[in-house]
Amino acid sequence: MSAMTTMTTFEGNDPAQPLRVAIHADDVAAAAKNRNGLTYKGFGLLSGNATSSLLMDYKAESPDAYWQLVRTLFAGDHPLMNTIKIEMGNDRNNSTGPNVATMRESDEYPQVAREPGFQLAADARRYQPGVHVSILRWMAPTWVHSNDDVYKWYKNTILAAYREYGVMVDSVNPDVNERTANLDWVADFAHRVHTDDQGFIGNGPNDPNAGWASETERDLFHAIKVITSDEEVTGTFGGEVIANPEYLNAMDVASYHYSVVDDEDGNFKRLAEEFDKEIWNSEAQAVFSNSADRPNNTMDNGLGERTGTGIGGSGSPLEMANTLVKGFVESRRTHAIYQPAIGSCYEHMEYASKELISARDPWSGWMYYDAGCAVLEHFTRFANLGFVSASAHDTIWRAIPQASGCKVGGNNPVNGARNGEPSYMTLAAPNGNDVSIVIINDSGFTKTYEIEIDAALTAAGKPLTIWQTRAADAGQPYDANWRKPVAIIDGNHNENTAVSTYAVTIQPWSMITATTLDSAEVNPATGALTAKPAYAYALPHTNEHTRTVLDVDPANGVLYADDFNYADEPQVETYKFDQLVKEDYLASRGGDAGATPRYSTDTNGAFEVVPDAERGHVLRQQIDWNHAGNAWIEGDPRTAIGDMRWANYRVSVDVKFEDYPGRAPYVLLGAREMGGNKFTTDICGVDFKIRADGVWLLRNFGNEVRRGHLEDLRRRAIEAGMQPFAAGAGSWNTITLEVAGDTATVFINGAKITTWSDPSLQSAGRVNLGTSFDHVRFSNLRVERVDGFSPYYTELIDDMHMRSWDNGSEILHYDSSWTHDNGQGMFTYMRTISRAAGAGAELKFSFDGTGVDLFGPSDGSARLDVFVDGHLVHANAPVHATNGSLRCEYRLEGLEQGHHTVAFRTANAAGFALDAIGLLK
């Protein structure tokens, strides 16, 4: 081997200075001896906190889109992901929403079918039989008090999943998510797993589920790896693990979230390099907002100039890539799990717009794959990543510490790259045959790297193919320049130094992979560089105008209806024990113990379909006060149903209180819910809340606007000649809430109870059902159009969606006085905002429909001049004060159906902020 010295040089005050990176044969050989700490595992997804709540709907209602998603993530020799991590829950909120409890009682057989993470893991095995499955917990069910209880909950759930799907969990963190490590418990858990001779813990000696179902089941369970500790800060346990052989032997994987740095003593580097332990970033940051629209920003480029940051900047895919590189350089992280990778819950809830793939509308099959996926392909497509198997020939590529570096500032986020700070990571085949170097330039400077490959490596002398990701050029689809080959560079071999040197240029706001793999070729006829088939970019493109609104029966005015019986639903295909099997719709989602209803995202509690002697099946809120455990965000049970673009509609549902022991429970019917707050108990633009004793409230974002009691309900029923509200338990009542324009009206059993109007009433949003922590049943949910009103927005356009995703043509035209910022908070829609600071700033666009609603944060002081088809229709029009970003601040409605061009011009200097635009049908 060569004795060449590895060199990486950079002068932070000179962004134009070339950066020199040397790949040393001795370093590659040393890394090849390390089987766990330096093998680059790749990437995974986390299914947790309700972010997979709509996945089973995609699987049932849009199976082509669902299976395309599974193939995109897990298929092929170089899959995008190889790990699925599942959070165990207790039916209480753990940020966006809850994860179901697989065991609500100590003696319950684990109900794994209602946990979408297990189904996704099973289906992933269709394309990747060796996909790694990992679990941990947030809060525990109320029956779990001791470590013995935790072990039973974990073990029985793991074995139930294996018996249901043929999927054995590969690794477990026995600790609580984002808590300081309990290393004694970790060691105890590891001992229990590796020596367990009991198997499934049954309910008495005659339980047929007790024990081991097979020797294979037992052996796979005994092989489970143990993780610690999923802290949300730099790991605090590294030194203790190294100092205590019991802890060191028990722990297979060291993991912590978000932070990319090591502890002060460098213990995680030591764990990886000296002790050959895996170091994971077990909750990593993906992208904030979407990269298709990100290049429309006018963010500061880091030099005080508002010229924009392309696909880079705060919360960008380039920041995500820098996080991966710095995580390896600083703390030897070789595996990153994204929370969430798939955003398959209703949008604009807590921790919104931070995913790699958006899957919000199962009725349409719509999905969006972000440039963050292309970022991951810069690693996965140009290296053999994964976990080393004891029985397999070792071909997993290593990350090479000596040929990797990152001077980008920041920890979480890693966003200090505006002066061209270097960021690169070298991956090498263990035999030295090939190398790939990932380089990120999250700045406005052009950067040059000089890459030197030791002649003692077989990779030396091979040409480097350069693969690049950057923003689209004018007139191109948004993903035209994502992971595309742009150059093939021959090396300059120096006999004296025994190296091959390559000069590589990286454009501003871009990233590249420079690889010796034979991955692209020049078309001799055109001179164009094209990918070889195994390396071609194939992430699905999302077309413009494909987010179809949920409108199931336009001819009869029904937007949505659900009797919770699903008699007409076809069977669902699931991959079990190495084959596709067809299952009954409800059985595939949990069965009689409680099945997940269609098109719902719970934010607290558990709304599940159960058998009902009278109506076949009904929706039931399953969690009472005795089972209401701890939560991330406290709140009463709520579930969201339907399309956020629904505007004017009438929603009705039959409700029945079950027997209750103490104070009267309540039920809630909500409308026009668009998220925007972590406290989901009071999140609807309007809701009607009624107790079993007849006391009721009509509320606006939780604020009382009307109230009454049982006698009011009786009188209204008599006046209308309708059946009065049946108080107490055991009777069905029909509650109806109508929202039309600025007015909300409530009916019970057909009798009008109350009405309320407010010019600033929220203009659109989903339906919500809610209860106290009591058992309440729902049936015959129905959402209908209201005569004389537009039923929904055909599109809800983010303020930054200025150009078509199809061809780059203009959609929104802002004049130059506007600013457009990424990096906003989670309750700003898509984490983007556009602002006009003074008078005369104009926004102009064309659409087909009857009106436009503008959304944004507002104190009510701005004024607008509004033009329709070239005519001033409203001068100096006031805007509404709002309590959040995705709240309606101005309505332009009642236009004649057809094509219109509208312009909104600020009429004063109060300042105006725009978050989104709703186009009324």
Q: Is 873 domain-assigned?
A: yes
Question: What's residue 1's pLDDT?
Answer: 29
Please report where in the chains the tokens 């510490």 appear, as a residue: 401
Q: Is 484 domain-assigned?
A: no
Question: What's residue 389's pLDDT?
Answer: 82
Q: Is 410 domain-assigned?
A: no
Tell me the Ramachandran region of residue 796: left when phi exceeds 0, alpha when psi lies from -120 to 50, beta otherwise. Answer: beta
Beta bridge partners of 696: 690, 708
How many angstroms from the chain centroid is the CA of residue 869? 40
Tens digit of each residue's pLDDT (9 = 90 or more) over 235-291: 999 999 999 999 999 999 999 999 999 999 999 999 999 999 999 999 998 999 999
- Would you say 441 and 511 are in contact if contact means Cβ atoms under 8 Å apart? yes
- Work out whether strand 638-641 and strand 600-604 pair parallel, antiparallel, or are unpaired: antiparallel
For residue 743, the domain's CATH number is 2.60.120.560
CA distances for 6 relative to 9, 23, 121, 781, angstroms: 10, 7, 42, 67
Residues 691 and 639 in one domain: yes
Question: Which residue stretches of the chain have pLDDT < 70?
Answer: 1-13, 391-392
Residues 63 and 208 in one domain: yes
- Work out whether strand 686-691 and strand 638-641 pair parallel, antiparallel, or are unpaired: unpaired
Looking at 752, 785, 818, the residue that finishes a domain is: 785
Query: Using CA atoms, how far apart are residues 124 and 411, in angstroms rounded to an integer?
Result: 32
Furthest CA-CA distance within the chain: 102
Residues 114 and 257 in one domain: yes
- Among residues 76, 751, 744, the alpha carbon closest in space to that of 385 is found at 76
Strand ranges of the sheet holding 492-494, from the earlier edge strand across to the other edge: 8-9, 19-23, 447-454, 499-506, 492-494
Please report where in the chains the tokens 């021959």 appear, as a residue: 490
Question: What's residue 497's pLDDT?
Answer: 84
- Would you say 291 and 359 are in contact if contact means Cβ atoms under 8 Å apart? no
- Would you say 686 and 672 are in contact if contact means Cβ atoms under 8 Å apart? yes
Write out the H or E segment, with its range, that includes residue 842: strand 842-849
Question: What's residue 5's pLDDT?
Answer: 32
Q: Is 590 domain-assigned?
A: yes
Query: Using CA atoms, how far apart are residues 460 and 453, in angstroms rounded to an integer?
Result: 5
φ/ψ of residue 819, rounded to 5:
-115, 150
Domain containing 779 equals 554-785
For residue 851, the domain's CATH number is 2.60.120.260
Q: Is 87 domain-assigned?
A: yes
Please report where in the chains the tokens 């992933």 appear, as a residue: 124
CA distances for 704 relative to 372, 603, 682, 698, angstroms: 43, 22, 11, 6
Structure tokens at 5: 């010295």
Query: Using CA atoms, how far apart are residues 278 and 283, in angstroms rounded to an integer?
Result: 15
φ/ψ of residue 440, rounded to 5:
-120, 135
What size, in residues, is the chain?
921
Q: Is 310 domain-assigned?
A: no
Sign of CA dihedral 839, 842, 843, 849: positive
Residues 53 and 88 in one domain: yes
Question: What's residue 6's pLDDT?
Answer: 35
Query: Using CA atoms, how far apart are residues 336 and 328, in angstroms rounded to an integer?
Result: 10
Q: Is 47 domain-assigned?
A: yes
Amino acid identity for residue 209 in this structure: N
Query: Using CA atoms, how far apart are residues 598 and 612, in angstroms rounded to an integer?
Result: 17
Residues 156 and 192 in one domain: yes
How many domains are there within the chain? 3
Quote the DSSP letter at residue 830: G
Other CB atoms within a 10 A radius of the CB of residue 145 amount to 10
Query: Using CA atoms, how far apart are residues 31 and 25, in angstroms rounded to an integer?
Result: 10
Residues 764 and 814 in one domain: no
- Would you say 873 and 783 are in contact if contact means Cβ atoms under 8 Å apart? no
3-state helix, strand, coil in the chain (%, to 5): 15, 35, 50
Other CB atoms within a 10 A radius of the CB of residue 354 amount to 19
Q: Is 321 domain-assigned?
A: no
Beta bridge partners of 727: none
Query: Using CA atoms, how far apart are residues 429 and 32, in angstroms rounded to an integer?
Result: 8
Sign of CA dihedral 65, 70, 76, 78: positive
Structure tokens at 783: 């959402």
Question: What's residue 14's pLDDT?
Answer: 72
Query: Using CA atoms, how far apart are residues 147 and 251, in angstroms rounded to an integer?
Result: 18
Write out the H or E segment, with its range, that includes residue 343: strand 342-343
Beta bridge partners of 497: none
For residue 81, the domain's CATH number is 3.20.20.80
Residues 161 and 282 in one domain: yes
Residues 115 and 152 in one domain: yes
Residues 752 and 843 in one domain: no
Residues 278 and 180 in one domain: yes
Structure tokens at 701: 């974002």
DSSP string, 625-693: GGG----SS----EEEES-TTB-SEEEEEEEEEPP-SSSPPEEEEEEEE----S-GGG-SSEEEEEETT
Residues 695 and 805 in one domain: no
Beta bridge partners of 492: 501
Residues 907 and 845 in one domain: yes
Amino acid identity for residue 657 in this structure: F
Amino acid identity for residue 836 in this structure: A
Rg over CA atoms, the chain: 29
Other CB atoms within a 10 A radius of the CB of residue 26 amount to 15
